[in-house]
Amino acid sequence: MSEQGPFDRILDPAAQRDRTARLILVGMGVVGVILLLLVLLPGSLLGGGDDGGAQTGGTTNNRTGKAPKAPEGFEALSLLLKVDAKEACPCDITLPLLQPTSDGRNLALYTSRSGKWERLSTATLVEDGSAAKGRVDARPANVAVLRRVVSAVQVSGWLPAGADAEPEALDVLGAINPVDFLPNADGTLAGTASTLPDGKGSVMPTVRAATQKDIDAVNAILASPALREAHVNALVQLAVQPAYAGIDIDYRGVNPARRADFTAFVTALADRLDASNRSLSVTLPTPVKTGVSWDTGAYDWDELGRRADALKLMSEQDPANFYKRMEEVLNFLKERVELKKVALVLTRQSVEKGSDGLRLISLHEGLGLASEIEVRTTSAITPNASVIIVGKNIFQDDGASGLRWDESAFAVSFSYPGRGGQRTVWLENSLSIAFRVDLARRFGLGGVAIDDVSLNPQAPAVWDTLRAYVETGSVTLAQPNGVLLRPAWQIQAGSSEPGSKGNVVWRAPAQTGDYDVSLIVSDGVIRAAKKVVLRVQAGGATPAAVATPTATPRP
């Protein structure tokens, strides 16, 4: 046989089969090497490597890798990265996001341990939405930013017309209800839509009958089939606008005689909205127990629960009766309506109660009452003189209780003798809100609704509590440290002998001049202070005016 040349070998079928076999073997070898690397070097897919990972106190570097599979109900917004171990914790951890976002809702830091995800802390957007930061108590081995996209509970909130929303609230709310519209007696609507910022939840504008005139208009509408139809048309026309997910109705105070008409109205509205792929939520007053029977007024909970997508239950305003009353109400309702459709309405306002009834006040106003100062020494203040000063509304020898934790209301409170006799103030803050949210959790409600989510520096910061509720379905319950509830006195000069009942004896300095004496109180979360300016002089003088209180975060 003659020797084959190179072209002959290329054209030889047997040679082709040999070459194909070699290629297959080489390809299998390459795949095997890759699989071996994946087994031996898993950290490479986690953004690992000694020089890359999440850094404490700063931003992460951009070590890349495949985003880890998020647990059910979550999406991964970052890689799973190793944590830089250079800094002691508690500390902040910042991670770059896979894509910038303006939606800061339901973000948290998670770590993966033994194949299981564990929540570390809430995360907030930083660096114009290109990164997220959270604070951890102990350094994890790895960390990622996850967002809960499916939650068993929802937080909604009313935003008064023309008000700016609390920025942190927008990161928590699943639905925001701008209170922009009211009903006219002819079935039309009055009002102008608010302009809302980006990065919010679903928007469902509220139509509210807030005044007696509005309630009279609703009763007139309900009494007329033609006006009911016109009103339903107006509401649907509003709800189907592209910016809206539905409509929120708040018609409390309807005449009980219009009960059947109200049910017919909600039924017609719900059917029309459902056909347009829009939702309906309806706010209802708290049922009232009279003896062994219940009065629900104009509101048929059984039927309304079948028709509406969500029902908002107004809650008891008196903190002394809140839990007893609401537990009775919820036990009554659970036999009539699916509680997953019910949201408990909560307020961020504190309450003062006296013989003249209840008064809603801000947290800062309540702390201001607790920090009122009264100088009991009426004689001239001379050098080295002793001056008796008391906390006017917390001095126990006057019959006040002092700041304390109310075990039945689950809130910080104090009682004092005042207008009309003994008065009691309950301070609403993140601690008390957590117990109210836990009531909703215990009864398996669909969530909670906040009565006012507008930007208000005098309202308590409750958004971390609500964020944890949305992310995990539960909240952490805690009472304040008793030491924090003890009043403290701060003097500019001289010396003092603080009493244990909200009083102090101040010994004036030897030098004449004006001196500050301040009373500092706390609700267990923030501190507030008022001061009195006392003038010491050889001839004596009376105390100067009391300044307004200031509040600062607890150190």
CA distances from 83 to 16, 78, 117, 145, 475 (A): 53, 13, 16, 13, 27
Contact 460, 428 (CB under 8 A): yes
Domains of the chain: 55-148 (no CATH), 154-348+428-472 (3.20.20.80), 357-408+481-553 (2.60.40)
Q: Which residues does the chain have with pLDDT short of 70?
A: 1-68, 85-86, 150-151, 198-200, 540-555
Distance CA 168, CA 461 (A): 9
Contact at 8 Å (CB) between 510 and 383?
Answer: yes
Is the link from the previous residue into 457 a cis peptide, with omega within 30 of 0? no
DSSP string, 308-330: SSEEEE---S-TTTHHHHHHHHH
Which pair of structure tokens corresponds to residue 243? 């910016």
Please report the pLDDT score of residue 240 as a whole number: 96
147 with 75: CB under 8 angstroms?
A: yes
Rounded to whole angstroms, how far apart are CA atoms 354 and 359? 8
- The pTM assigned to this predicted structure is 0.78
From the list 214, 196, 204, the residue with the least C-alpha distance to 238 is 204
Total residues found in the chain within this entry? 555
pLDDT tens digit string along 15-73? 444 444 444 444 555 444 444 444 333 333 333 333 345 555 544 444 434 445 777 77
What is residue 546's predicted lDDT score, i.e. its pLDDT? 45
The one-letter amino acid code at 498 reads P
Q: Round to whole Å and give the CA distance between 185 and 190.
A: 10
Task: Check residue 472 and give its pLDDT.
Answer: 86
For residues 341 and 309, the answer to whether their CB atoms sit within 8 Å is yes
| Residue 21 φ/ψ, nearest 5 degrees | -60, -40
- Residue 390, C-beta contacts closer than 8 angstroms, at least 6 positions apart: 373, 374, 376, 398, 502, 503, 504
Q: Give per-residue pLDDT as tens, 385-417.
A: 999 999 999 999 999 999 999 999 999 999 999
